[in-house]
Amino acid sequence: MRRPVRSAAQFIPPRLTIAALQKAAASCTGCNLYQRAMQTVFGEGSAHATIMLVGEQPGDQEDQAGHPFVGPAGKILDKALAEVGITRASVYVTNAVKHFKWEPQGKRRKHKKPSVSEIAACRPWLEAEVQVVNPRVVVCLGVTAAQSVFGKTVRLNDLRGQFWNTPIVSNVFVTIHPSALLRFPEAGQRDEEYRRFAEDLRQVERFLRA
Ligand code: URA
Ligand code: SF4
């Protein structure tokens, strides 16, 4: 993925720590998404985490709270992590894109998928987070995260359930985004897909124990 002319690159601070990155990202204008969001939602968690979880972008609730995965998708993620014995404290949680992209739908702010160029513009933050945390495994939650980490357009089903090496980090695992689970119309299918998601996380947990 080629770096766009305008990107987060020029906002990366010289000294790489999570605190310094978080602070610098608060005033990032590397793409237009900062204009309509309330704030930058940077990654959070232990700087020595063994697992880095990468989502797509903050949602409505994350945008208001300023923290990643605190809304409905976060609840599912927390449940699945707890089920397989991964504590939220042992992970670093972030997103491919750090600002909430939305369009109005009545009174709601409806999530809008980030574009290829927005994902590329925000990628320097994710690269810096990977450098600082140096996790043993990076778990991409959904195709946007995978697209950023692999640095190219990818298909979820081609990559799901296996470990890969990418230009920015090795041991990358790809699974579905937890909010995609909410969109299956049928309860039975939702349960089945949730089980598959939890099984993916179990595979990551086993990999780390091996
Ligand atoms: N969905 C994401 O991808 N990230 C969040 O932080 C919340 C919802
Ligand atoms: Fe900067 Fe990323 Fe926000 Fe765009 S989405 S303004 S690149 S932090």
pLDDT digits (tens, 9 = 90+) for 84-123: 999 878 899 999 999 999 999 999 999 999 999 999 999 9
Q: What is the mean pLDDT of residues 39-48?
A: 96
Evaluate: CB of 37 within 6 angstroms of ligand 2. no
**Which atom of ligand 1 is found nearest the CA of 55?**
3
* Mean of per-residue pLDDT scores for the chain: 96
Q: What is the pTM of this model?
A: 0.97
pLDDT tens string 138-172: 999 999 999 999 999 999 999 999 999 999 999 99
Would you state the pLDDT for residue 4? 77
- Report how far Cα 76 is from the mean position of its chain's Cα atoms: 14
pLDDT bracket for residue 28 (50, 70, 90):
very high
Identity (one letter) of the amino acid at 193? E
141 versus 210: the higher-pLDDT residue is 141
Give residue 188's pLDDT. 97
CA angle, residues 181, 92, 86, in degrees to nearest 5: 65
- Looking at residue 169, what is its pLDDT? 97
pLDDT at 90: 87
Q: Which of 99, 179, 181 to mutate to test the pocket of ligand 1 (most atoms within 8 A of CB)?
A: 179
Cα-to-centroid distance, 54 and ligand 1 (Å): 9
How high is the pLDDT of residue 191?
97
Best mutation site among 29, 39, 144 for ligand 2 pocket (most ligand atoms within 8 Å of CB): 29
H, E, C per residue of 83-146: HHCCCHHHEEEEECCCCCCEEEECCEEEECCCCHHHHHHHHHHHHHHHHHHCCCEEEEECHHHH
